[in-house]
Amino acid sequence: MSVDTRWLTSEQLATWVRLAAVLELLPATLDSQLRRDAELTHFDYYVLAMLSEAPEHTLRMTALAERTTATLARLSHVVQRLEGRGLLERFPCPEDRRATNARLTEAGWQKVQDSAPGHVAIVREKVIDALSPEQVTQLGEITGAILRRLDPDGDRAAIYQRYSPPGDS
Amino acid sequence: MSVDTRWLTSEQLATWVRLAAVLELLPATLDSQLRRDAELTHFDYYVLAMLSEAPEHTLRMTALAERTTATLARLSHVVQRLEGRGLLERFPCPEDRRATNARLTEAGWQKVQDSAPGHVAIVREKVIDALSPEQVTQLGEITGAILRRLDPDGDRAAIYQRYSPPGDS
DNA sequence: ACGCGTAGGTTGTAGCTACAACCAATTGGG
DNA sequence: CCCAATTGGTTGTAGCTACAACCTACGCGT
């Protein structure tokens, strides 16, 4: 039997099964809170949140895609819908005529500020407050290690940067 | 400002941002490997894998839903498709005429055995082998703690049980 | 033995994502 | 300069999921 077919030890397996369950349940939980309270998917929220932290509340599509860990195609569809709802607007980038900028509208900025507290509350409740401070540190290191495998070039590792409260200006 | 609106410390935030990225990238990675190599989604795979461990390769829909962390509605759609592909079959449960059993066909059993090694390999590559043994232990505890918050009744915690290699009889 | 609440599932549909195809602008090599 | 490759982005579509509505069977209280 080749090395690729090694199975997992029972401890590794127990960990993996739990992780798989978290992968399934946590996004669903976040989505339904935001949908119910703000009519936003978790991904929609992240798009708005990343814009809210950017200078001028503006980012190029490519930069926004990196920060939200999404493909450009997906982002394009989502941005189109958010634009239709008046939460952001697109305009051609002056420096590079291939590029498109996305900018938060006033309504979009308001939406982020309104929905942030509820989102943060559920993240605390389901994740942060479930763990000891040491575990939070451990989880940070563990997810960092996994991300390096998932995304070795760190294209999407712009994400590792700071992230501050919208409205905190 | 109420207690609900507390933001996160920068360390908590760094952890959360990384976790969010893993939540986005890891399922996509698993899905695409299985789709490419076995024409199965990650969820399809889990359905087949859970059946493969059950006595007679058979489970009630409800039991299968618990083990796969899914809603019954979702499972029903997925099982319908898998049945159409000949990988499993449904039949009414003799003891309770409301209930439906799902049973792996020979082709389904073969599919699980064929696709398991590739799936395990990517789980090792992206998760297990990215971590030290201590980190695997830590991650097991951390995900356990999060799951207790996500699913307090532990309805879906049947998952916490053992999970052995298909084909290992 | 009847009614009502619940358990077990299925189905319809709107909406989101992945994948592939496509197009326009930019850049670099000869 | 010019064209080939690359970058930046959009669009069409098939397929999966969530949510709600619905149906049948079971079981308990009276």
pLDDT digits (tens, 9 = 90+) for B94-139: 989 999 999 999 999 999 999 999 999 999 999 999 999 999 999 9
Specify the pLDDT at position B147: 93
Helix intervals (H) in A39-163: 42-53, 61-68, 72-84, 106-126, 133-150
Fold of the domain spanning B26-116: Arc Repressor Mutant, subunit A (1.10.10)
Domain boundary assignment for chain A: 10-160
Assess whether B74 (CB) lies less than 7 A from strand D.
yes
Specify the pLDDT at position B152: 74
Amino acid (1-letter code) at residue B47: V
Report the C-alpha gap between A11 and B71 in whole angstroms.
Answer: 27
Report the C-alpha gap between B139 and A142 in whole angstroms.
Answer: 8
C-alpha angle B120/B125/B127, rounded to 5°? 90
Tell whether A71 lies on the interface with B, counting CB pairs under 8 A.
no
Mean pLDDT over A67-75 rounds to: 95
Assess whether B77 (CB) lies less than 7 A from strand C.
yes
CB-CB contact of A158 with A66 (8 Å)? yes
The SS3 assignment for B24 reads helix
Q: pLDDT tens digit string along B155-165?
A: 444 444 444 44
If you ran DSSP here, which 8-state letter would residue A96 be given?
Answer: -
Amino acid (1-letter code) at residue B62: T
The residues near A141 (Cβ < 8 Å, ≥ 6 apart) are: B135
Tell whether B99 lies on the interface with A, counting CB pairs under 8 A.
no
Kindly report which listed range (A70-79, B54-63, B157-166) carries the lowest average pLDDT score.
B157-166
Average pLDDT, chain B: 88
Specify the pLDDT at position A4: 52
pLDDT confidence band for B4 (50 / 70 / 90) = low
Kindly report which listed range (A58-62, A78-82, A105-109, A161-165) carries the lowest average pLDDT score.
A161-165
pLDDT confidence band for A8 (50 / 70 / 90) = confident
Average pLDDT, chain A: 88
Specify the pLDDT at position B65: 95
Fold of the domain spanning A10-160: Arc Repressor Mutant, subunit A (1.10.10)
